[in-house]
Amino acid sequence: MLENIPSPNQKHRILIYHYDNGALGYSRAFWAVTPFEYQNLNLANYEIPDGYQAKGWSEENDLLVEKWEPYYYRQKLGELKTGNLYKGVRVKLIESAQNK
């Protein structure tokens, strides 16, 4: 587990994690949006679509996501837009500091 970020209303979490991939000991980071109690959940079922990174929460409990271009694991590319609901949480797309 790299980061565990609870929503302001304590109903959901962003979990940022990676897998132990043998010799290297790590994999790319994954972002999952889970219920607040996440123990014993299969996090793969809660991962946000490839092409996005979870960046945090707004004061209104919106999931802040940023678009990014993955160069691997592109099988789960998806599309998120501001206002979409994802796993019961409203999405707010933010612009990358690199793109400003």
Listed by start position, the domains of the chain span: 3-99
**pTM summary value:** 0.85
pLDDT beyond 80 at 29:
yes
In this prediction, residue 20 carries a pLDDT of 74
Residues 1-15 pLDDT 10s: 999 999 999 999 999
pLDDT per residue over 71-99, tens digit each?
666 666 788 999 999 999 999 999 876 55
Beta sheet of 52-57, edge-to-edge order: 52-57, 63-67, 89-94, 85-86
DSSP 20-79: --TTS-----EEEEEES--TT--GGGGBPPBTEEEEEE-TT-PEEEEE---SS-GGGB--
